[in-house]
């Protein structure tokens, strides 16, 4: 166990804990050779292996090694022992941009300066074939001089993640920042999705609040798909026109980063630091600062919030109609475990299993009226340790389908299911929460 004042791998003196999630802790530390302040992310190998997060960690490290830019949080080195992985990162003294904007909107010149840095960093990422996919204020850090540092590449994707259609298909992102095409599940261009998120960030910097807000997540997604937002009266006309081009719900006509960088409002004061950048108050002044009482959960995104929020009406989120034949559940298990469990249940229910491309299954068996029942099962990866599984009857009698779901599937799958969604009767009669999906324990903080 890491302790304050201990020397890590004969190189770094550990300070106080800056934050922690389920699988990692981040410490303030000092390089005893150079005196440089750093942040060290300590990852528990055993926990990440069980949660199926190894690939995500490898991706995050690979991306940070690949992208070198003054506005991207720098990775200094990666070390490992038998049980831990240590990622040594640049220490951003000012903490999250979220905390600055939460105190009030920024002045136009400061907001533009931050936006310029953000676009420059994202453009560099895209030039290296890296798409962040979770750009938000919480993932933007502030350096000692107030400069921006883009962080948290845990949900990023590389260009080789694309399928043959040239699009990404993994659903991820944070609800209020996510692009319409990501919600619609039809494949998306990572660069265009990042541009949308940058537009949301620009709006928040100038307005002090999000453009798309609704207590009902479904209604908020409807607003996003329609680009239904209003600019406050203090927004300059130039900004309004730029936002219309960035927050274009059609990715094919959405302005690319190259054109944003040519925009007249964007280019004002480019490369010059505004005279009145707010003074940075360090997130930790010394090794003696107390540990924060609350830390946000790591890698919390749109579909984590869906699974952990008991009060949301989720019917129709993934599918545009209200067909009772469609149900879905969320799970914290790796895809391999979900598939294995489904195969076991299908065998016990006398259903044959056929595997299809893209992590999908087809379950086929005899029905009560000499009519074959067929069920399509699609598994969607949100993160390596979080999946949405959708089940849909494509042939057969509805009563037979309901019987299989309620009497065979749901009881047998209860150990791997967080929440069932879709069929109202199924949800009301037999809804069971996975112990790790207790909404009261999530500490969700929606900005």
In terms of Cα–Cα distance, which of 317, 345, 319, 328 is closest to 391? 328
Burial degree of 378 (CB within 10 A; 0-12, 13-18, 19+): middle
134 is catalytic: yes
Distance CA 331, CA 342 (A): 13
Distance CA 232, CA 393 (A): 47
Structure tokens at 71: 């506005």
**Secondary structure letter of residue 45 according to DSSP:** H
In terms of Cα–Cα distance, which of 436, 432, 404 is closest to 419? 432
What are the residues whose beta carbons fall under 8 Å from the beta carbon of 311, sequence distance 6 or more?
Answer: none
pLDDT score for 442: 30
Superfamily of domain 304-440: Kinase associated domain 1, KA1 (3.30.310.80)
pLDDT score for 318: 36
- Give the DSSP H/E element, type plus range, for residue 26: strand 24-31
Q: Does domain 7-90 have CATH number 1.10.10.10?
A: no
Distance CA 335, CA 360 (A): 10
Order across the sheet with 140-142: list the strands. 95-96, 140-142, 148-150
Distance CA 83, CA 47 (A): 10
What are the residues whose beta carbons fall under 8 Å from the beta carbon of 370, sequence distance 6 or more?
Answer: none
pLDDT score for 377: 87
pLDDT score for 248: 96
In terms of Cα–Cα distance, which of 144, 150, 152 is closest to 285? 144
Is 227 in contact with 234 (CB distance < 8 Å)?
A: no
In terms of Cα–Cα distance, which of 333, 53, 172 is closest to 342? 333
First to last CA, the chain: 33
**Secondary structure letter of residue 104 according to DSSP:** -
pLDDT score for 134: 82
pLDDT score for 407: 86
In tens digits, the chain (447 residues) has pLDDT values of: 566 668 887 889 999 888 776 677 888 999 999 999 999 988 888 877 776 777 777 777 877 777 888 999 888 988 888 888 898 989 988 888 888 888 889 999 999 999 999 999 999 988 888 888 788 888 899 988 889 999 876 544 444 444 344 443 344 446 788 888 887 766 778 889 899 999 999 999 999 999 998 767 778 888 999 999 999 999 999 999 999 999 999 999 999 999 999 999 999 999 888 877 765 554 433 333 333 322 233 333 443 333 333 333 333 333 333 334 578 788 878 778 888 888 888 888 888 888 765 557 888 888 776 678 888 888 776 555 567 788 888 888 788 888 888 888 888 898 888 777 654 433 333 333 344 443 333 332 222
Q: What are phi and psi of 353, to 5 degrees?
A: -115, 130
Detail the DSSP E strand segments found in 286-384.
326-331, 352-356, 360-365, 373-383
Structure tokens at 401: 């389908």
Q: Distance of CA 89 to CAs 69, 93, 125, 131, Å?
A: 14, 12, 18, 20
Q: Given this chain, do its domains 7-90 and 95-282 carry the same CATH topology?
A: no
Alpha-helical runs (H) found in 91-189: 97-101, 108-127, 180-183
Which one from 31, 44, 109, 134 is the annotated catalytic residue? 134
- Give the DSSP H/E element, type plus range, for residue 85: strand 84-90
Q: From the centroid of its chain, how far is CA 264?
A: 32
* CB burial string 437-446: b at 16+ within 10 A, e below: beeeebeeee
pLDDT score for 174: 62
pLDDT score for 220: 82
Task: Give the residue extent of every domain in the chain.
Answer: 7-90, 95-282, 304-440
Is 377 in contact with 342 (CB distance < 8 Å)?
A: yes
95-282: what fold?
Answer: Transferase(Phosphotransferase); domain 1 (1.10.510)
């Amino acid at each position: 166990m890491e302790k304050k004042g201990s020397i890590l791998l004969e190189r770094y003196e550990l300070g106080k804990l800056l934050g922690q999630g389920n699988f990692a802790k981040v410490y303030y530390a000092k390089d005893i050779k150079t005196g440089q302040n750093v942040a060290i992310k300590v990852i528990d190998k055993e926990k990440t292996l069980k949660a199926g997060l190894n690939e995500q960690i490898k991706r995050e490290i690979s991306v940070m090694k690949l992208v070198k830019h003054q506005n991207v949080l720098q990775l200094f080195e990666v070390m490992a022992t038998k049980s831990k992985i240590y990622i040594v990162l640049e220490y951003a003294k000012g903490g999250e941009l979220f905390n600055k904007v939460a105190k009030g909107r920024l002045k136009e010149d400061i907001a533009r300066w931050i936006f310029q840095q953000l676009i420059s960093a994202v453009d560099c990422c895209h030039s290296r074939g890296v798409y962040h996919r979770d750009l938000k204020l919480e993932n933007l850090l502030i350096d000692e001089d107030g400069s921006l540092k883009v962080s948290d590449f845990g949900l990023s994707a590389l260009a080789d993640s694309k399928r043959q259609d040239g699009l990404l298909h993994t659903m991820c992102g944070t609800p209020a920042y996510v692009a319409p095409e990501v919600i619609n599940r039809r494949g998306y261009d990572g660069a265009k999705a990042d541009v949308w998120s940058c537009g949301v960030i620009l709006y928040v910097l100038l307005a002090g609040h999000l453009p798309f807000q609704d207590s009902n997540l479904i209604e908020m997604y409807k607003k996003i798909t329609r680009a239904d937002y209003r600019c406050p009266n203090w927004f300059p006309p130039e900004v309004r026109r730029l936002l219309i081009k960035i927050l274009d719900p059609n990715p094919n006509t959405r302005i690319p980063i190259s054109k944003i960088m040519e925009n007249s409002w964007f280019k004002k004061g480019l490369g010059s630091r505004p005279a009145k950048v707010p003074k940075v108050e360090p997130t930790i002044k010394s090794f003696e600062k107390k540990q924060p009482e609350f830390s946000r959960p790591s890698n919390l995104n749109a579909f984590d919030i869906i699974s952990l929020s008991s009060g949301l009406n989720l019917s129709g989120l993934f599918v545009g109609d209200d067909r009772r034949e469609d149900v879905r559940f969320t799970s914290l298990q790796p895809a391999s475990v979900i598939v294995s469990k489904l195969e076991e249940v299908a065998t016990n229910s006398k259903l044959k299993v056929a595997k299809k491309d893209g992590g999908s299954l087809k379950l086929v068996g005899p029905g009560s009226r000499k009519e074959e029942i067929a069920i399509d099962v699609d598994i969607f990866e949100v993160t390596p340790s979080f999946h949405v599984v959708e089940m849909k009857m494509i042939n057969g009698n509805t009563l037979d389908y309901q019987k299989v779901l309620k009497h065979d599937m749901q009881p047998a799958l209860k150990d791997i299911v967080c929440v069932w969604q879709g069929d109202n009767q199924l949800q009301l009669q037999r809804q069971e929460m996975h112990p790790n999906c207790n909404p009261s324990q999530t500490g969700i903080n929606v900005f």
